[in-house]
Amino acid sequence: MRGRDTKVRMLGRLAAAAAFAAVGATAALAQTDDRYPRPTSAITGSIPNQQQSWSGEPGASGHPLMQPDAILAAVADFKNCIERMWPDAARRNISRASFERFTAGLEPDLRIMDLMDAQPEFTKAFWDYIDALVNDERIAKGRDILKQYEPTFAAVEKAYGVDRYTIVAIWGIETKYGAVAGDRPVIRSTATLACVGRRQAYFKDEFLAALEILHRGDVKPELLRGSWAGAFGATQFMPTAFKRYAVDFDGDGRRDVVESVPDIVASTANHLKKAGWVTGQTWGYEVMVPQGFNYMLADPAHRLTLAEWARMGVQRVGGGAFPRAGDRAYLFVPAGARGPSFLMLDNFRVIMKYNPAEAYALAIGHLADRLRGGGPIAQAWPRDERVLSRTERLELQQRLADRGFDIGEPNGRLGAKTRTAVRDFQARNGLIPDGFATASLLDRLRGP
């Protein structure tokens, strides 16, 4: 389930990539799954220019199905492609009447082909993501929502054991509390992706799941709108994720994650619970590491108990003992030794299943803490560091590979493998092995 969830969330997040690209974001952040462009969820679906048409250019992925000729051939076959999905729809107990009603007049939305293969050259720094996602406005609005729906949050917390602040933080990060949930019809987006481009098999399931939602009447057809990848509602459910996790908490017989706050809150809680949420545990802590610390230990695979970390001199910012000292955590140092450090508990991984981008998952955890009354991240970010461009990231990967470090396939995304290679290179050259790919590190790699 985990791999699939990750894929679902990532695809759901892709929607905003193009919108973010316009302001210069995406792809610099580390992640383990490098198959897709960097997901950027804060403004998922808020693509302002729906009228924008397909560029007609080949996709940056280089995939044969993203070539203009292949796309045009798929468009010519679009109606047949939809009809070929009818037997599968029938097996899902979708009536012929519903099938015809919801697919009548469907035309492919080819702009999606550009968005699917977007690979922006310039990206934001990790700290710029956090600053943009966790701001005073989002904190204030989140606190209002907590107050306004207090009985709902209390009931959902009781039923699912999932922390209310995390749910509100997801709501705030994913769609600015529903303000930017996307306005592309989900049925059209998923039909396009099921019949055109490089991910057809995957999106066929999403299209059929979207049809099921419409056939059952869970969400009003005119409100089933979302990101170009088909994620919809306040907390951006993909249609298949909706099928698995959405619940009818207000008891009206519909699982409405668009209009019903109880259904939105409980469905999001259920998603986290099914992903392994540990009741009573938070996501993690900002920590201070001691002078001379061995950063080789900052690795997701290296999990110790909080008590063990404490014995090594890792302390909570602001002091105080760790609650639940037996819980295991890994050390996360997203901007190197000159930036903040965090100990990540199992629930951070659960949030990562919801949104697999580390900056977004950290923003969700941090916003939850702020909603609870916590303060800003205490340690300074290394804001003087310049973010590497895509071309430079590719060069960095190539130069590491040339020196015999395993970075997988150079793809311009600094995932876990690249970070490990950077650390190994740093360690071998007497640098602090913090895995942070900086401009000076690239200069060093350019040397002998």
Nearer to Ca ion, 169 or 264 (CB): 264
The distance of closest approach from Cβ of residue 260 to Ca ion in the complex, given in angstroms and rounded to an integer, is 5
Structure tokens given for 24? 């210069």
Q: Which is nearer to Ca ion, 160 or 309 (CB)?
A: 160
Shortest Å distance, C-beta 262 to Ca ion: 7
CA distance 224 to 257: 10
Q: Which is nearer to Ca ion, 107 or 252 (CB)?
A: 252
Closest CB 219 distance from Ca ion, rounded Å? 10
Cβ nearer to Ca ion, comparing 58 with 178: 178
Judge residue 76's burial from the number of C-beta atoms within 10 Å of its C-beta, 0-12 exposed, 13-18 middle, 19 or more buried: exposed
Q: In this structure, are residues 44 and 227 in contact, taking their beta carbons and an 8 Å threshold?
A: yes
Question: φ and ψ at 185, to 5 degrees?
Answer: -60, 125
Q: Which residues bind Ca ion (CB under 5 A)?
A: 248, 250, 252, 254, 256, 260, 263
The full 3-state SS of the chain, as one line of letters, equals CHHHHHHHHHHHHHHHHHHHHHHCCCCCCCCCCCCCCCCCCCCCCCCCCCCCCCCCCCCCCCCHHHCHHHHHHHHHCHHHHHHHCHHHHHHCCCCHHHHHHHHCCCCCCCHHHHHHCCCCCCCCCHHHHHHHHCCHHHHHHHHHHHHHCHHHHHHHHHHHCCCHHHHHHHHHHHHCCCCCCCCEEHHHHHHHHHHCCCCHHHHHHHHHHHHHHHHHCCCCHHHCEECCCCCECCCCECHHHHHHHCCCCCCCCCCCCCCCHHHHHHHHHHHHHHCCCCCCCCCEEEEECCCCCCHHHCCCCCCEEHHHHHHCCCEECCCCCCCCCCCEEEEECCCCCCCCEEEECHHHHHHHHHCCCHHHHHHHHHHHHHHCCCCCCCCCCCCCCCCCCHHHHHHHHHHHHHCCCCCCCCCCCCCHHHHHHHHHHHHHCCCCCCCCCCHHHHHHHHCC
Report how far residue 369's alpha carbon sits from residue 92's, in angstroms, rounded to the nearest whole number.
Answer: 42
Q: Minimum CB separation from Ca ion for residue 258, in Å? A: 11
In whole angstroms, the minimum distance from the beta carbon of 221 to Ca ion comes to 17
Closest CB to Ca ion among residues 263, 434: 263
Q: How far is the CB of 172 from Ca ion (least distance, A)?
A: 22
Kindly state the tokens that stand for 221: 């057809």
Which residue's CB is nearer to Ca ion, number 204 or number 254? Answer: 254
Q: How far is the CB of 218 from Ca ion (least distance, A)?
A: 8
Residue in the shown chain whose Cβ atom is closest to Ca ion: 248
Considering beta carbons, is residue 117 or 256 the nearer one to Ca ion?
256
Residue 259 CB, shortest distance to Ca ion, in Å, is: 9
The least CB distance from residue 263 to Ca ion, in Å, is 4
In angstroms, give the least distance from the CB of 270 to Ca ion.
13
Cα(352)–Cα(275) distance, rounded to whole angstroms? 10
Pair 171, 133: CB distance under 8 Å: no
Minimum distance, C-beta of residue 116 to Ca ion, in the bound complex (Å): 32
